[in-house]
Amino acid sequence: MSQPDSAVADAQGGAATESLAALAKRHGLRRAIARPSLPFYVGQLWARRHFVLKYATSRNVSKYSQSMLGQLWQLLTPLLNAGVYYLMFGVILDQKKDISNYTAFLITGVFIFTFTQRTVSGGAKSISNNLSLIRALHFPRAALPLAYAVQELQQLLWSMLVLIGIVLLTGEPLTLYWLLIPVALLLQLTFNIGASLFMARVGAFARDMNQLLPFIMRTWLYASGVFFSIPDRVADLPESLAFVQYIMELNPAAAYIELMRDLLIQGHTPPQWAWTTAIFWAVFALVIGFWYFWRAEERYGRG
């Protein structure tokens, strides 16, 4: 069975290529690395749902495992965040003059935006941070950005607890609208997953993205009406620039923030198409993001 070097070299020449491929075909062998069809991929992903959940929980656990207060930080972090932002924008910069219940307005904005921001940033890093896992085990890669999204969802549920506490403390009544909170969050989660899948592929191949992303995110934060009300801010613009308001309100982050403010704060008027915008972005992002991520499935891990 031992062959001289020349025979091996010959076997590796161009002519052998065709016959080996034919041999593989004749015996029904499949390419080791090939992109599965979209429905099959969804099935594979569904089969790994336990992995996604466990991975998300484990990451949340390990994140605080070194600190003395442990999981309490899941509650403390949003509380401290709320405090810092209120001190900055409510007290020092005193933005609150024209907005009813500015505390609730601001904290809702910050928490809802943070959910999207953290999911998308996490998604962008989810492939490059897990290269060793990708190169060691076989699983649909979309499980990673999904796990990051679930992790942020778990964190958000704690933040919502804090948020609802703050909103009630600022004197907002409990209304039937609150029943729509899960619907609004589900729409936002759908958008987040789509956007994070999209960014996962971008971040996997364009590594400079991770340096750039914080700046993009901060710009997005300032443009999304987290600290100010968009209609107030554009009121001084000349008539010819009125479209700026619509563009700002079509921004997905602004839509989800406005949606939640509408549900939580009685004196708040959301833009006309907030729900339509929110539903459109959720569906659009998920479809495009998932498709875009799946298209490169066989290339993740090459570095």
Partner 1 sequence: MAMERVWPLTAEEQEATKKSSATGTPTVIVDDLHIVYKVYGATSAEEKGNAATALLRLVKRQGRPQMREVHAVKGVSFVARHGDAIGIIGRNGSGKSTLLRAIAGLLPPHSGAVYTDGQPSLLGVNAALMKELTGERNITLGCYAMGMTPSEVRAKYDEIVDFSGIGEFVQFPMSTYSSGMGARLRFAIASAKVHDVLLIDEALATGDREFRKRSQKRIMQMRESAGTVFLVAHNLDVIEETCNRVIWLHKGKIKMDGDPTEVIGAYNKA
Q: Which residues bind partner 1 (CB under 8 A)?
A: 1-3, 5, 7-8, 10-17, 19-24, 27-33, 47-48, 50-51, 54-55, 58, 61-62, 65-66, 130, 132-139, 207, 298-299, 301-303
Q: How far is the CB of 204 from partner 1 (least distance, A)?
A: 12
For residue 199, give the nearest of 121, 301, 291, 280 by alpha carbon: 121
In the complex, least distance from residue 131 CB atom to partner 1, rounded to whole angstroms = 9
CB-nearer residue toward partner 1: 126 or 188: 126
Residue 46 CB, nearest approach to partner 1 (Å):
11
The CA–CA distances, whole Å, from 175 to 80, 108, 159, 262, 291 equal 27, 17, 20, 11, 39
Least distance from C-beta 74 to partner 1, angstroms?
16
| DSSP assigned state of 159 | H
In the complex with partner 1, which residue's Cβ is closer, 43 or 182?
A: 43
Judged by CB, which is closer to partner 1: 131, or 180? 131
20 and 117 Cβ atoms separated by less than 8 Å: no
Specify the residue, 211 or 240, whose C-beta has the smaller distance to partner 1: 211
How far is Cα 115 from Cα 169, in angstroms, rounded to an integer? 22
Q: Based on CB atoms, which residue is closest to partner 1, 133 or 223?
A: 133
CB of 250 to partner 1, least distance (A): 36
Whole-Å CA distances, 121 to 96, 114, 155: 30, 10, 15
User: In terms of C-beta density within 10 A (0-12 exposed, 13-18 middle, 19 or more buried), how is residue 235 classed?
Assistant: exposed
| Smallest gap from residue 160 Cβ to partner 1 (A) | 26
- 28: region left, alpha or beta (phi > 0 left; psi from -120 to 50 alpha): left
Q: Minimum distance from CB of 76 to partner 1 (Å)?
A: 20
**Residue 115: C-alpha distances to residues 47, 122, 131, 198, 298 (Å):** 26, 11, 25, 16, 29
For tokens 């076989």, name the residue. Answer: 138
Between 32 and 68, CB nearer to partner 1: 32
Where are the strands (E) in 39-196, listed by range? none
Q: In terms of CB distance, is 15 or 174 closer to partner 1?
A: 15
Asked if residue 147 lies in contact with residue 129, where contact means CB atoms within 8 angstroms, the answer is: no
